[in-house]
Amino acid sequence: MNSALMHGLTQLLLAVVLLSGATADDAPVDPATLTPLGGNWYVSQTQPAVYYFRDASRFVDLFSWHQKDSNNDGIANVRLQHDQNFLIIDSQGYPNHPTAIFPNAGNPNSIRVQNFKFRLPLKPQRNDQITTLPMGPIGMALNGVVFFNPFEQGGMNAVAGYSEVWLDSCCGHPQQTGVYHYHKYPVCVKSPFRDDGRQHSPIIGFAFDGFPIYGPWESSGVQAKELQGEQALDVCNGQSDSERGYHYHVNPGRFPYVL
């Protein structure tokens, strides 16, 4: 069988297994079993490689659903550790969902395994001054794949208009060094967390300033981009509420799409 096809089938089967199981946010966690690290981050007292994020009133294990390595003692695609001020993430940056076959007529690059190390502030602080995002990774989805800003080289909109680039059906593509990445809401991000539009979206990733990125839904049937007044998204797709503090929402069809 063609190796690319085999890879796609393998990833699809993994995705089905993840989505068909019990959702990770259905099981309550006793806060007494967790050690606070700072901000909304906690680590398990019995499983030191398992980290929890306080999302509103829930403590959610966001990362350990990834496939374990051969020794069953860590996460193959995404590994976590921490120091006094940062959550440290090692990621291979490899998508856990089917992709287009690269290279192809729309993209000459191949997807390659990466060796990322990212540091998320445990206690992120808002900056009242808006700064320009760099090119390259600006955040990471829960599956270890990175987010890029909405531009391609030359400052052209990568998502819409005459400069729109070729993205696969999961909204990603690789750049010259093989980094597969998303410029907009990655509809194929596979995790055990439901996002069916019936409630506030779950976290789908983090910006590198440390604030979480949620899916598009604010509440049942209402996308965050539809909000008005004080709850309206700011120019960075961020908002603040009493339960979650400051956070981002992906913004389907509206610039800047992610951040």
pLDDT at 1: 42
pLDDT in tens, 24-63: 445 688 999 999 999 999 999 998 889 999 999 899 999 8
pLDDT tens digits along 172-223: 889 999 999 998 888 887 677 888 889 999 999 999 999 999 999 999 999 9
Q: What percent of the chain has pLDDT over 90?
A: 49
**Which sequence spans correspond to the domains of the chain?**
31-249
Q: Are residues 129 and 192 in contact, defined by beta-carbon separation less than 8 angstroms? A: no
Structural contact between residues 61 and 49, judged by C-beta atoms closer than 8 angstroms: no
Per-residue pLDDT of 118-171, as tens digits, reads 999 999 998 888 877 777 889 999 999 999 887 677 666 666 655 567 788 888
Tokens, residue 50: 């398992």
Question: In this structure, what token pair is assigned to residue 228?
Answer: 């008005």
Start-end of H helices in the chain = 3-20
Q: Which amino acid is at 240?
A: S
Contact 172, 186 (CB under 8 A): yes
pLDDT for 211 equals 96
Q: Given a cut of 50, is residue 12 above it in pLDDT?
A: no
pLDDT at 2 over 60: no
- The rounded mean pLDDT for the chain is 82
| Cα–Cα distance for residue pair 34/3, rounded to 1 Å | 43
